[in-house]
Amino acid sequence: MKKVLLTIAYNGKNYHGYQLQEELPTVALMLNRAVCAAFGFECNVTGCSRTDAGVHALGFCASVEPRNEGDEITVPIDKIPIAINIKLPSDISVLKAREVPLDFHPRYDVVSKEYIYKIHASRIKNPFYDGLALEYGREISDTGLDKMNNAAQHFVGTHKFDSFMAQGSQIEDTERTVYEAKVYRNGDLVEFSVIADGFLYNMVRIMVGTLLRVECGKISPEDIPGIINSQNREKAGFTAKPDGLYLSKIKYKP
């Protein structure tokens, strides 16, 4: 039996997140249907993560293996993306496929994940960013950008991120290690990139809301360690909209 790992990109604007949900359109639903149609039999499709409604992906990963004994994936590895993409809607695409060991797990074998959040920092909205970036409604100066980037450096390290977790979340182990965090310009966008061994529910979106409060002077960069140590959600900023959030990259053990 063969197990295949797919790397997938999708525009999450029209979906209620990745995970299967009863009677709601999700990325997993579309992917499951397309995989089964491409291979001609039922498959187990396991995603690397859950993404919220409206969140996008540049490098989401999902494993695929036959559900029933006797079924075998016979499509050549290099032809699998084409075979599945024919069955997918235009806002989801399999970028590549590779064979992995049968004991590989796309979620438990993750070493790190990278998220990128895109902010359109302009007083004039751009219709082509609708649902694909946060319309901030104001410009971000170089000084403001530096303040945001300085604040982001305080996220790096191993901390309990209770202050950056959605209220009502039932997760008890809130310790995560952030390897890298930075804010930078990319054309007419301001982007926040963060790499960690894992993320809490809404963690990146709350980080972004906090950084935007730093930009407008409501919080100073030096306040971030105190916010983290308080383990109090009310001390951090607002939860930014899902529009600008992208699961960018998954790194696995060798």
Across 136-164, average pLDDT: 97
Q: What are residue 92's DSSP bridge partners?
A: 10
Across 104-110, average pLDDT: 95
Q: Is the pLDDT of residue 48 over 80?
A: yes
Please report which confidence band the pLDDT of residue 22 belongs to, taking 50, 70 and 90 as the band edges.
confident
Q: Write down the number of H helices and E strands in the chain.
A: 5, 10
For residue 167, the model assigns a pLDDT of 84
Across 6-25, average pLDDT: 93
Element (H, E) at 189: strand 189-196
Name the residues annotated as catalytic: 52
Q: Is the pLDDT of residue 50 over 90?
A: no
Across 20-32, average pLDDT: 93
Q: Is the pLDDT of residue 1 over 80?
A: no
- Average pLDDT over the chain reads 95
For residue 27, the model assigns a pLDDT of 97
For residue 193, the model assigns a pLDDT of 98
For residue 20, the model assigns a pLDDT of 87
Q: What tokens appear for 98 in the block?
A: 């590779």
For residue 140, the model assigns a pLDDT of 96
Q: Is the pLDDT of residue 70 over 90?
A: no
Find the radius of gyration of the CA atoms of the chain.
19
Q: Which of 19, 16, 10, 68 is nearest to 40 (CA)?
A: 68
Q: Is the pLDDT of residue 71 over 90?
A: no
For residue 133, the model assigns a pLDDT of 97
Interatomic CA distance for residues 216 and 237, integer angstroms: 12
Please report which confidence band the pLDDT of residue 170 belongs to, taking 50, 70 and 90 as the band edges.
confident
Q: What tokens appear for 190 in the block?
A: 């301001």
pLDDT-above-70 percentage for the chain: 100
Please report which confidence band the pLDDT of residue 23 belongs to, taking 50, 70 and 90 as the band edges.
confident
For residue 173, the model assigns a pLDDT of 94
- The DSSP call for residue 188 is T
Across 37-42, average pLDDT: 95
User: Structure pTM?
Assistant: 0.94
For residue 253, the model assigns a pLDDT of 85
